Amino acid sequence: MLRESVKRFANEVVGPKVREMDEKESMESEIINGLFEQGLMGIETSAVHGGAECSFTSAIIAIEELAKVDPSVSVMCDVHNTLVNTILRQHGTKEQQDKWLPQLAQSKLGSFCLSEAASGSDAFALQTRAKKDGDHWIINGSKMWITNSYEAEIFLVFANVDPSKGYKGITCFIATKDMGIKIAKKEEKLGIRASSTCTLNFDDLRIPAENVIGGEGKGYKLAIEILNEGRIGIAAQMLGLAQGAFDKAVPYTYQRTQFGQPVGTFQGMAFQIAQAAVEIESARLLTYNAARRKEEGKAFTKEAAMAKYWASVIAQRVSGQAIEWAGGVGFTRETGIEKFWRDSKIGAIYEGTSNIQLQTIAKFVQKQYS
């Protein structure tokens, strides 16, 4: 039922705006408002806080279905749900949850601010600093590659309150745009162009002490935990992307005739399509297995890394093949197939590069066999 309702919203509301948003490199407010109206911005949030009170797997389903139509909209929903909402649900005080979760479920977009110029894969090398000033914290620094930041109103900002402690000084703060967060630059990107990615500056950003989440110096633990969950969300996005490209291109191969038969029935292409179908299904099984383990309270770090890595590989491979299956038509922007390939490239980069995922998987293999 959820899958069908998200699919309908994606096709009827998002679909007609995909190309325009991609070319303008901006997210339509109608889409953001529609996600809130559909209850897709508080999927796991309790009903008491205005959310849908559904499962983590429900969030993964929504992310997958949105990505079949537009991965830009999918990642906006993903970051908001699996990173921002989850941190507040799992680590926020009752007062913080009562104040912020209803806003995030009903009207205000959230953004997760961890990466910096010098701290990408090495996330805990961040240079943003927070200094105590009475009952407030003063934050100075900058963040890069921040998803949702152009449209967001609520931000989770990671800063170090005591650099002498290294990563154990990292703390998570709740901030709002009207506190003085400045957008220094909005990136122009290869793919997921409607999803905003910005550089943010904090110049004496004044945040109430009550806005610390999880306690001082606990930010690194929050980040580690949440990024493992977030990687399942990105796997779902890449999975949906691969399926979306497949769904657009394959029907064309049975309509396009050459040498007296549909091109999709020639053995060379037929085998490629069959192989892609298997690969998509393998990515789906890895993704939903990781989600299942997470829901059951089992360890899922390795499974999340496997899902994200493989779904990213398959997204690039299938979307690239989809262009070739459609021939010259696939190379044009009119069909939207080429957009899936452009969007797929980010899967190997954000929320942990493919090499970081392989490193994580390798550590688990070594631990098991050495």
Residues designated catalytic: 351
| Residues facing residue 357 across a β-bridge | none
Nearest to 351 by CA among 223, 245, 219: 223
**Got the DSSP string for 121-146?**
SSGGG---EEEEETTEEEEEEEEEEE
Q: What span, in angstroms and rounded, lies between the C-alpha atoms of 73 and 87?
A: 21
Q: For 18, phi and psi rounded to 5 degrees?
A: -60, -55
Residue 5 identity = S
Coil, strand or helix: which one is 303? Answer: helix
- Rounded to a whole number of angstroms, the CA Rg of the chain reads 21
Which two structure tokens, joined as six digits, stand for 143?
């963040």
Calculate the dihedral angle through the C-alpha atoms of 207, 210, 214, 215, rounding to the nearest 10 degrees. Answer: 90
Do the Cβ atoms of 151 and 175 come closer than 8 Å? no
H/E stretch holding 206: strand 197-208
Parallel, antiparallel or unpaired: strands 154-160 and 110-113? parallel
Nearest to 144 by CA among 193, 203, 184: 184
**Got the DSSP string for 53-81?**
---HHHHHHHHHHHHTT-HHHHHHHHIII
Which two structure tokens, joined as six digits, stand for 249?
């291109």
Nearest to 338 by CA among 23, 27, 41: 23
Coil, strand or helix: which one is 50? Answer: coil
Nearest to 236 by CA among 62, 81, 355: 62
Q: What span, in angstroms and rounded, lies between the C-alpha atoms of 31 and 204?
A: 33
